């Protein structure tokens, strides 16, 4: 086995992966609450894979209530070195038609009231989100889609909305003015939490619809999204497999592996012991250094 342990977060339409060898669903406990599901653990070629369906098998959990902290913490506990997340998105750009895959490189977080940090009183830390995704994973994901037989655009800005309702036409047009190119309900706070957990993260988005900003365009509905997701899902699965098989044997370190080095501001003698205990997976690297 190589040094990669890839966490795959499966979005709408992707609730398991058949390419996993020796696959087993394993429960992982987290001090942050219930992860969305057990984690499907196995291998693809030389890579260990840990697959977590974001909404749970059967799509039980809504975007506003899914426990992103528990999900990221559980993936870290399961040994992940990196995360590739997959999401269904609406397109806010004429250049991104339904059926197209696109890697995300920026986020606008318009979610409300979701727990969006592992840190707080007793352990205050501020990580940079200037470059919220891992470029090498994103590039590798785009190449994998092409190798799997699809088309993949690179570098879209993702607007994370609260939902669960879809946007009004006025909101959809507003987000375009903000510079957003795709829209979804789950990319935030997931990407923030992955950065806090020092996990390089990339988001591969599958465009399912044009949302509702186009003149005379139809309103988006779940049936349309599911139809497009079903059309995309075998390519998404293939792309995940190619992504893993084509990773180099050696994983060179990423600066994101040490994202907390310059982020913690609380004086060590003021760290709250109970808070530290909860952070054993996310930030344990710092404490083990003493
Ligand atoms: C099924 S339509 C809306 C739903 O799809 C996207 O989910 P995911 O990002 O997990 O693929 C979107 O964010 C909404 O949660
Ligand atoms: N139009 C849309 N808005 C929000 N989330 C989505 N997921 C897929 N399509 C979407």
The ligand whose atoms approach the alpha carbon of 167 most closely is 2
Cβ(166) – ligand 2 distance below 6 Å: yes
pLDDT computed for residue 288 by the predictor: 78
pLDDT computed for residue 216 by the predictor: 84
- 152 vs 11: CA distance, rounded Å: 17
C-alpha 10 chain-centroid distance: 8
Mutate which of 8, 10, 12, 14 to test ligand 1's pocket (most atoms within 8 Å of Cβ)? 12
Cβ(237) – ligand 1 distance below 6 Å: no
Cβ(220) – ligand 2 distance below 6 Å: yes
Quick one: which atom of ligand 1 is closest to the CA of 9? 10
Predicted confidence band of residue 287 (pLDDT cuts 50, 70, 90):
confident
Residue 129, marked binder: no
List of residues 6+ apart from 38 with CB closer than 8 A: 25, 26, 27, 28
CB atoms within 10 A of CB 217: 13
- Under 8 Å between Cβ of 144 and 239: yes
Residue 12, marked binder: yes
pLDDT tens-place string over residues 236-263: 999 999 999 999 999 999 999 999 999 9
Structural element, H or E, at residue 238: helix 222-245
Of all protein residues, the one whose alpha carbon is nearest to atom 7 of ligand 2 is 89
Cβ(12) – ligand 1 distance below 6 Å: yes
At residue 7, the 3 state secondary structure works out as strand
DSSP at 217 = P
C-alpha 52 chain-centroid distance: 10
Cβ(92) – ligand 2 distance below 6 Å: no
pLDDT tens-place string over residues 109-155: 999 999 999 999 999 999 999 999 999 999 999 999 999 999 999 99
Average pLDDT, the chain: 96
pLDDT at 290 over 90: no
pLDDT computed for residue 188 by the predictor: 98
List of residues 6+ apart from 216 with CB closer than 8 A: none
The domain spans of the chain are: 5-87+109-152+187-201+234-288
Residue 2, marked binder: no
pLDDT tens-place string over residues 86-106: 999 999 999 999 999 999 999
C-alpha dist (Å) from residue 66 to 61, 130, 169, 265: 6, 25, 26, 29
The CA-CA-CA angle for residues 116, 73, 233, to 5°, reads 85
**SS3 per-residue string spanning 141-203:** HHHHHHHCCCCEEEEEEEEEECCCCCCCHHHHHHHHHCCCCEEECCHHHHHHHHHHCCCCEEE
Taking the alpha carbons at both ends of the chain, their separation in whole angstroms is 30
Give the Å distance between the CA of 30 and the centre of ligand 1. 24
pLDDT at 289 over 60: no
DSSP string, 62-85: -TTTS-HHHHHHHHHHTT-SEEEE
Q: Which residues pair with 110 in a beta bridge?
A: 161
DSSP at 55 = T
Active-site positions read 209, 211
**Mean pLDDT of the region 52-79:** 98
pLDDT tens-place string over residues 195-215: 999 999 999 999 999 999 998
Give the Å distance between the CA of 237 and the centre of ligand 2. 20
CATH superfamily, region 5-87+109-152+187-201+234-288 = Nucleoside phosphorylase domain (3.40.50.1580)
CB atoms within 10 A of CB 112: 8
pLDDT tens-place string over residues 171-195: 999 999 999 999 999 999 999 999 9
């Amino acid at each position: 086995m190589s040094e990669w342990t890839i966490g795959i977060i499966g979005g709408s339409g992707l609730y398991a992966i058949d390419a996993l060898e020796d696959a087993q669903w394993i429960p992982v406990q987290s001090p942050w609450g219930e992860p969305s599901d057990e984690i499907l653990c196995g291998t693809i070629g030389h890579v260990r894979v840990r697959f977590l369906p974001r909404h749970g098998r059967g799509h039980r959990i809504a975007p506003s209530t899914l426990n992103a902290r528990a999900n990221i913490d559980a993936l870290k506990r399961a040994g992940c070195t990196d995360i590739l997340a997959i999401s269904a998105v609406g397109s806010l750009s004429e250049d991104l038609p339904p059926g197209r895959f696109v890697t995300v490189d920026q986020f606008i977080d318009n979610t409300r009231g979701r727990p969006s940090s592992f840190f707080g009183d007793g352990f205050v830390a501020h990580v940079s989100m200037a470059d919220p995704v891992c470029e090498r994973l994103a590039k590798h994901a785009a190449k994998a889609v092409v190798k799997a037989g699809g088309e993949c655009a690179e570098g879209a800005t993702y607007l994370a909305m609260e939902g669960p309702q879809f946007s009004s036409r006025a909101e959809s047009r507003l987000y375009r003015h903000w510079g957003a190119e795709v829209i979804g309900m789950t990319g935030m706070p997931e990407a923030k939490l992955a950065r806090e957990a020092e996990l390089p993260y990339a988001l591969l988005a599958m465009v399912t619809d044009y949302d509702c900003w186009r003149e005379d365009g139809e309103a988006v509905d779940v049936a349309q999204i599911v139809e497009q997701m079903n059309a995309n899902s075998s390519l998404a699965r293939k792309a995940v497999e190619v992504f893993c098989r084509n990773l180099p044997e050696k994983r060179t370190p990423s600066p994101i592996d040490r994202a907390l080095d310059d982020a913690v501001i609380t004086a060590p003698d003021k760290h709250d012991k109970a808070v530290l205990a909860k952070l054993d997976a996310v930030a344990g690297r710092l404490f083990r250094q003493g």
